[in-house]
Amino acid sequence: MQSKTQRLLLRLSFPLAICFFSAAAGAQDLYFAGFSFAGNHDQNQQRYPVAEALQNEKDPNGVNVLDAALRNQLKALNRSDINLKYALGNEASGDTTALAFALDQESVEDDRMGSQDLYIYRVIANVLVFDFETKTVVADFPAMVQYQDIGAPGRSDADNRAVFRRIYLEPGFGANIFAEWVRRLSVARISKSYSAHLGVRSVTIAPEAEAVVPDTLKQNDAYATQVAQTFEYSLASKQNVGLIPYTPGQAIAGKMVARFANGNSYDLSLPRPDFVIDLRVRAFRSTKVETNSADQYVFGSFVTLSVEQPDLQKTYVNADFKNLNFVVLDKSAAISPDPWQSYQTSLRNLFNVLAEQISSRDAKVLVEMTRAPDINTQLLGFKEVVRKCM
């Protein structure tokens, strides 16, 4: 039997940061816990090596550059219903809700495009709200940025680190992760508690799909985790709902070392989701049609989505969905699209449109996505699940 809580491994890396916000009448107090890493300390070099290296770098005022960049972006936050407090909280007060930036992953992909390479940089983080009296995660709102660049093949590690530095530290950079985190925080439904929780329970990769997954993503459930995080981001951003973050095996039974006013250190727990999402990625497919002047490619992604309430053994959604992306290239360009990246673009589009259809339920769109005859009823059920978790 699954235990009532799973352990979220999260290490707060810096002391509670100082922020200056004027309190509004009736505003909810949140203790700002600053920048943190999600995951084992010994995973830092694998999951976020650039941010790990930046831990030891200070700005001219002696403040860690990551924490300083985060606080600088927070100046743009405009919410009268939240009062961010820089003082350490006290459990005895009963006012114990805290907020943290939780870094989850940084990654770079390198794919050939003709004579050049396409470089794709991603950083995934979370707006993490937690109660340090009950030692429980309250809500998690994913934040993700992606930056693409075309250049000469063979970029060095130093070249890639320079791009990640811009993602973390350059305020006006279009893919700044702290700016995206603040944007998510600006619209997130922050509450001291939620009546129900929703989360991705499992991701299964069908053998036909796994056959085309790059070897680097087959290790340590890396691709399954990537799929879960991509779906979480689509669902959370389109429906503005907090999620219990997907936790592959290495994060279960972990510890969060947290220090507050009373000096206590304790584990931060993930509540068991009341509603669960299961995803199965089925075979990726492609086809090519040639004309005298152009090459047309079609890249298809296919998934099975299930949404359940385990305690009541109730199923809200159980349906297959697909998305087809069309790419037309001039023959004279002599460029062939990278199949893997094209499949992932198709999959991300599928998740985004599916998340939108939970609310909009456009018959013309849905007939292209699924053959489920009762899909409107199923998505209405999914919408009710989302509502209960707000």
Dump strand ranges (E) for 227-365: 269-271, 275-281, 285-290, 294-309, 314-330
Q: What is the mean pLDDT of the chain?
A: 84
- Asked if residues 99 and 186 have their Cβ atoms less than 8 Å apart, the reply is no
Q: Indicate the pLDDT class of residue 269, thresholds 50, 70 and 90.
A: confident
- Please state which of the ranges 108-122, 144-158, 344-358 shows the lowest mean pLDDT: 108-122
- Asked if residues 5 and 247 have their Cβ atoms less than 8 Å apart, the reply is no
State residue 257's pLDDT score.
36
**Vertex 128, ends 37 and 349: CA angle to 5°?**
95
Q: How many helices (DSSP H) and strands (DSSP E) are in the chain?
A: 10, 13
Report which listed range, 21-30, 217-226, 255-264, is most confident: 217-226
pLDDT digits (tens, 9 = 90+) for 88-122: 555 555 567 888 888 888 988 887 777 888 899 99
Q: Which long-range contacts (CB under 8 A, 24 or more apart) does 285-289 make?
A: 286/339, 286/342, 286/343
Residue 374, sorted as left (phi over 0), alpha (psi -120 to 50) or beta, turns out to be: alpha
Q: 147 versus 91: which is more confidently predicted?
A: 147
Nearest to 198, CA basis, from 27, 389, 370? 389
Give the span between the Cα atoms of 213 and 287, in whole angstroms.
18
pLDDT digits (tens, 9 = 90+) for 56-73: 899 999 888 998 999 999
Give the span between the Cα atoms of 96 and 139, in whole angstroms.
14
State residue 94's pLDDT score.
59
- Please state which of the ranges 6-15, 315-324, 351-360 shows the lowest mean pLDDT: 6-15
Q: Which long-range contacts (CB under 8 A, 24 or more apart) does 307-316 make?
A: 307/275, 307/276, 307/277, 307/278, 307/381, 307/382, 307/385, 308/275, 308/276, 308/278, 309/274, 309/275, 309/276, 309/385, 310/276, 311/274, 316/275, 316/378, 316/381, 316/382, 316/384, 316/385
Residue 150, sorted as left (phi over 0), alpha (psi -120 to 50) or beta, turns out to be: beta
Burial class (CB in 10 A: 0-12, 13-18, 19+), 349: middle
State residue 3's pLDDT score.
43
State residue 6's pLDDT score.
44
| pLDDT surpasses 90 at 277 | yes
76-109: b or e for each residue (b if 16 or more CB lie within 10 Å)? eeebeebbbbeebbebeeeebbbbbbbbbbbbbb
| pLDDT surpasses 60 at 13 | no
Give the mean pLDDT of 209-232.
90
Q: 290 versus 176: which is more confidently predicted?
A: 176
- Please state which of the ranges 79-83, 215-219, 324-328 shows the lowest mean pLDDT: 215-219
> What are the two backbone dihedrals, phi and then psi, of residue 8, each rounded to the nearest 5 degrees?
-95, 125
pLDDT digits (tens, 9 = 90+) for 360-374: 999 999 999 999 999
Q: How far apart are the first and last CA of the chain?
A: 27
- Asked if residues 325 and 339 have their Cβ atoms less than 8 Å apart, the reply is no
State residue 10's pLDDT score.
46
Q: Indicate the pLDDT class of residue 337, thresholds 50, 70 and 90.
A: confident
Q: Indicate the pLDDT class of residue 19, thresholds 50, 70 and 90.
A: very low
State residue 252's pLDDT score.
31
Q: Indicate the pLDDT class of residue 249, thresholds 50, 70 and 90.
A: very low
